[in-house]
Amino acid sequence: MSKGIIYNLISRLIFILGAYAIHVYLARILGPEKYGVFGVCVAIITIGYLFLDNGVRQIVSKSSAKFPESAKYFLKKGIIVQLTISTLLGLFLIIFAKNIAFILNDRDLIIPLYLSGIIIITQSLNFVYTGALNGLKKFGYESAVVSAYGFVRPVVAILLIYLGFEVMGALAGFLIASIVAVMLGIILTRNFGNKKYDAIKVSNILKSSIPITVIFGGITIIMNFDLLSVKHFMPEGQFSGYYTSAAAISKLAYWFLFAFGSVLLPFISSSFHKNDIKQSRKYINEVIRYSLLIVLPMVFLFSFYADNAVCLIYGEAYQPAGNVLKILIFGLANLGLISIFSHIMIGINRETIMIGYSLMGVVTVIVLNIILVPRIGMIGAAISTTISAGVVAILSYSFIKRRLKMQLNVVSILKVISSIFFMLLIAYGINGVEVNFVIKAVVLYLGYFLFLVLFKEINNDDVNVVKNLVLSFSNKDSK
């Protein structure tokens, strides 16, 4: 499983770096107002993506993990369902593009929304192929598909932006990259087992995917409703541009945590299917522990150096986004944890419970945004997301803990909290030192791990995990 996580993290890193390349280049070239238009389109596409990325994909992954000889059969059925759902979503967006633009107070959104509808349909197929690869634990191939998309998208988008196509050029990069990723997926799955499995039909996949679609659709709404609220209640274009920049940085935490949950699903599904609860608990504890050890200090450092990070990445014109980032990064980290917990709930067949938690989060985020954004602006949107995601994360983890009779390692938690506390204490102490904040952040991040070693939270087992990963990759490269 560790190798799968590394593959997934590498592909997500390429995906994230490519996304940032587009965001930063477009933001600096066009300024906050037009960048805000792009941000709103991406938010709407993301809602479509995560409805499509987390319904059929998980069913194909889960089914392929249990019955690998029928993976191609599941893949074909999944494509039929995915195309049906994505076409409905894409056509809905195209038909109502003018109405959406009116609600968001910006007619410049109409044409980009047309293209966004086409992107949703095309991209949907990519998710089915990665689901099949994930289910068979072919994480290297899955990583290749995600990496291809992550590489092609910024190359094409930046080229078209440079040629003067602005927002439409950036969106065209999404479309072309999705076509390339689907073609690669077709090649990598051509030899999969195609044994017919009568228990899984199109109707079964559609029925099974609906709960998962609702779960991750809810997460997506929690993630993106804040930006749409800012666009609606604060129609001056620059505010949506500021918020988009803070959200783009914050999503770094989400995607890293999502990578852990994505790899965890087939392992949990397989062990739970065999009624091996002890092994399921082991998988869950390892994923949660390693994900928090890596991501949590990053979240605190981004919050501490929020103003510096925004200005470095986007330029001085986006400095107002710093205060948003200080809060929003915690909200997106909470959503990342929810994605892990959601994958666990799917793996242990408790989708219905997770639907309730997800919908509760949606109601909370809508109510809080309506109350807070008109009163305190962008900060209110960030607070709304953070509180709503926190509520869902606590509820879902509490259920998993009860259901699988998991024990919290209080000593381990205290060691991690203490390490972060000392890291932040040093950060305050060196705040006036005239050294680039990036260097400070890297030193502090490494110092955090030094504290973990001193507290004996990182032990020989952890070192051996890293050593074995390095050796396995080295051996693979040498062949």
Which pLDDT value is given to residue 465? 56
What number is the average pLDDT over the span 173-183? Answer: 93
What number is the average pLDDT over the span 13-23? Answer: 82
pLDDT exceeds 90 at position 110: yes
The ranges assigned to domains in the chain are 2-407, 411-479
What is the tens place of the pLDDT at every residue in 220-258?
Answer: 899 999 999 999 999 887 899 999 999 999 988 888 888
Token pair in block for residue 201: 């039909």
Contacts of 133 (CB under 8 A, 6+ apart): 139, 141, 142, 145, 185, 188, 189
What is this structure's pTM?
0.79
What is the tens place of the pLDDT at every residue in 45-98?
Answer: 887 776 676 667 777 877 777 777 877 888 888 888 888 888 998 999 999 999
Q: Specify the range with the lowest mean pLDDT, choosing from 121-125, 140-144, 307-311.
A: 140-144
Q: Which residue has the tokens 């993630």?
A: 223
Token pair in block for residue 228: 């749409």
Which pLDDT value is given to residue 479? 42
Distances (CA, A) of 122 to 95, 332, 415: 17, 27, 46
Which pLDDT value is given to residue 438? 93
Rounded distance between C-alpha atoms, residue 79 and residue 56, angstroms: 8
Q: Is 405 left (phi over 0), alpha (psi -120 to 50) or beta?
A: left
